[in-house]
């Protein structure tokens, strides 16, 4: 059984809430990043543009919110770092799964006639 002291979550419930928060935060971050690029007329192509510094700031801000603090109390530095790493990992994973392919909408160059090929106005002999 999980101990509850003054309404705070402990052990498995605490880790579970931190994990769920990191997943939701990471997905929201990746979605928002795509929206910003789209608003700028740019496509989401290539690797995840976020950084661990950004992930730490996002995790720290989220975990410092009143609703989270009421449930978890004071967080240890290692818990914040773990949440930041999980946030970054989920954002990256979500981004890569939904990123546009670089070769989408890129015109394929026309082939030019070379040795043994028939180009415009050429006929086989």
Total domains in the fold of the chain: 1
Q: Does 25 reside within a domain?
A: yes
What pLDDT does residue 13 have?
85
Residue 1 lies in a domain: no
The string of pLDDT tens digits covering residues 73-114 is 888 899 999 999 999 999 999 999 987 876 655 444 444 544
Q: Which residues constitute the domain of residue 35? A: 11-98
Residue 117 has pLDDT above 50, yes or no: no
pLDDT at 122: 45
Residue 45 lies in a domain: yes
Instruction: List the structure tokens of 117.
Output: 């090929």
Q: Write down the pLDDT at residue 87.
A: 98
Asked whether residue 92 is assigned to any structural domain, the reply reads yes
Dihedral sign (CA 95, 96, 97, 101): positive
pLDDT band at 9 (very low <50, low <70, confident <90, very high): low
Mean pLDDT of 60-78: 89
pLDDT for the residue numbered 74: 86
Structural domain contains residue 51: yes
**Would you say residue 111 lies in a domain?**
no
Using DSSP's 3-state secondary structure scheme, residue 76 falls into coil
Does residue 5 contact residue 63 with C-beta atoms inside 8 Å? no
Q: Please, what is the Cα angle at 43 between 42 and 46, to 5 degrees?
A: 125
- Between helix 11-39 and helix 52-63 the angle, nearest 10°, is 120
State if pTM tops 0.75.
no
């Amino acid at each position: 059984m999980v101990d509850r002291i003054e309404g705070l979550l402990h052990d498995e419930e605490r880790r579970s809430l931190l994990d769920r928060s990191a997943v939701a935060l990471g997905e929201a971050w990746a979605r928002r990043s795509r929206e910003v690029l789209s608003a700028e007329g740019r496509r989401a192509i290539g690797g995840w543009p976020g950084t661990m510094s950004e992930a730490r700031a996002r995790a720290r801000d989220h975990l410092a919110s009143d609703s989270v603090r009421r449930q978890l109390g004071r967080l240890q530095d290692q818990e914040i770092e773990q949440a930041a790493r999980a946030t970054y990992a989920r954002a990256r994973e979500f981004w890569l799964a939904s990123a546009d392919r670089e070769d989408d909408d890129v015109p394929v160059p026309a082939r030019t006639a070379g040795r043994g090929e028939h180009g415009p106005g050429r006929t086989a002999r």
